[in-house]
Structure 1
Amino acid sequence: MRFTSEQRLDDGVLEREFTLGEIPGILWTPGSAPAPLILMAHNGGLHKREPRLVARARHSAAEYGYAVAAIDHPGHGDRPRSAADEQARAEMRRAMAAGEPVDEIFESFVGPLVDNAVPEWRTTLDALLALPEIAGPVGYTGMTAIGIRLAVVEPRVAAAGFFAGGYVPRAQREEARRITIPLQFLLQWDDKGNPRQRALDLFDAFGTKEKTLHANAGGHADTPWFEVDNGNRFFDRHLK
């Protein structure tokens, strides 16, 4: 892991950009150390500096004492996108706008993303836990499909918070039954991009006995800010 920039923010959080092979990422750490770690994943082609993600990360570090890390997944943020990725994204947007089925398009795009991103998260986790300012246990929050696979294969992840989940590849819907760690699942009730019933069915499929569903009115980007605090309190119960 090579740190490429460093700045102390006005809330006391230390923000450092890093590279790990081809993986670019950001690490936010509080003043206290060692700190438990939250892996914060984004989706939809977003950048690791997407403003909502950065705001959540800084809040978790400054107010709750967590180290938070985000990386750009393959084809996301600063990383190059293949022509096939661009075509799949465009076709999915067109089909969703037209009200056409998108399952097969989604499978062809998100399935390989999960296969490629999860090993990168595990490599990143190895490097992060080697830093003296970070300690276990580890939480995960963000993209549901990646989170399901990571929760199944990575024993160091002790709790997870997932978002949406209407569209999840078939493989992850089956893997959801194998999850045993505590979960908190956020659902925006009026999210047109994530069919409500499919998200509810996924919540029902999670194998863990300790799972909580938080549903709020509004679209995909309308999640109330208080859910950020709810998420941090969820991690406090399981990581501290």
Structure 2
Amino acid sequence: MHFTSEQHLDDGVLARDFTLGEIPGTLWTPASDAPLPLVLMAHNNGLPKADPRLVARARYTAARGFAVATIDAAGCGDRPRSAAAEQARAELRRAVQAGRPADELDELFESLVGPLVADAVPEWRATLDALLRLPDIGGPVGYSGGWAALGIRLAVAEPRIVAAGFFAGGYVPRAQREEAHRVTVPLLFLLQWDDEGNPRRRALDLFDAFGSKEKTLHANLGGHTGTPAFELEDGCRFLDRHLK
């Protein structure tokens, strides 16, 4: 892991860009005299790490006493895009513009999101290995993000993750829906009740499928981007309980 830049932000958080091989990422840390618990934070289906919503969540969470890290998925941000992924994105855009309902787009989403998850998991695990070798990070480790499919796969594959917060706004491929029962860590699941791109019944079925003995559903009225600001504070309280 090589740090390529750093910026001291006005909320007392240090933001450092890094590379791990070909993987670009960002690490946010508050000032601390002791090793910090770590939160892996991913945006929906690999949207770039510089997305303002992700950066705002990361800074807020870091200011609450956590190290927060994110990376760009393959084909996202400045990383090279594959021809297959670009074709899937183009077909998906055309289908959405044509007004096809969300539950008719499954195969297009499968062709895009499924490979993204498969490619992203080993990169996130390698990043976790590198982060936990840093002297200012000691764990435990949590996951928080809109990319629920990635979070499910990581929570199943990575025993170092001890709690997870998912947003229900992104498409979850069949493979991750089928292994949701293997997610057993404490879970906070956020659902926008009127999300135009995420059928409510599917999100509720996914919540039912999780195998966690401690799982909480927060459902709020509104569309995809209407998650209330107080959910960020509630999410940090959830992380406080399980990572500190």
CA RMSD of aligned residues (A): 1.2
- Residues 141-150 or 217-226, more deviating: 217-226
Shift of 1:7: 1.4
Shift of 1:223: 0.8
Correspondence list, 1:1-240, <5 A:
1-32=1-32, 33-62=34-63, 64-97=64-97, 98-100=99-101, 101-142=104-145, 143-164=147-168, 167-240=171-244
Distance 1:166 1:82, change over 3 A: closer
Shift of 1:93: 2.5
Matching residue's letter, 2:151: G
Distance in 2, Cα, partners of 1:194 & 1:74? 24
Distance in 2, Cα, partners of 1:238 & 1:95? 41
Matching residue's letter, 2:154: L
CA deviations 1:203-222 (Å, max 9, x no partner) are 01001111001111111111
Distance in 2, Cα, partners of 1:113 & 1:17? 22
Matching residue's letter, 2:37: P
Shift of 1:45: 4.8
Does structure 1 conserve the Cα–Cα contact (< 8 Å) formed by 2:7 and 2:15?
Answer: yes
Distance in 2, Cα, partners of 1:73 & 1:49? 12
Shift of 1:44: 4.2
Distance 1:186 1:69, change over 3 A: same
Report how many aligned residue pairs link the two structures: 239
Does structure 2 conserve the Cα–Cα contact (< 8 Å) formed by 1:137 and 1:156?
Answer: yes
Matching residue's letter, 2:139: G
Unaligned segments of structure 2, at least 5 residues: none
Distance in 1, Cα, partners of 2:166 & 2:87? 27
CA deviations 1:38-68 (Å, max 9, x no partner) are 0000124521011111111111111x10000
Shift of 1:167: 2.6
The percentage of aligned residue pairs carrying the same residue is 75
Distance in 1, Cα, partners of 2:201 & 2:51? 28
Distance in 2, Cα, partners of 1:137 & 1:18? 21
Matching residue's letter, 1:123: A
Does structure 2 conserve the Cα–Cα contact (< 8 Å) formed by 1:166 and 1:198?
Answer: no
Distance 1:135 1:45, change over 3 A: closer
Matching residue's letter, 1:132: P
- Aligned-partner SS, 2:44: coil
Distance in 2, Cα, partners of 1:22 & 1:185? 32
Shift of 1:83: 2.1
TM-score (norm 1): 0.96
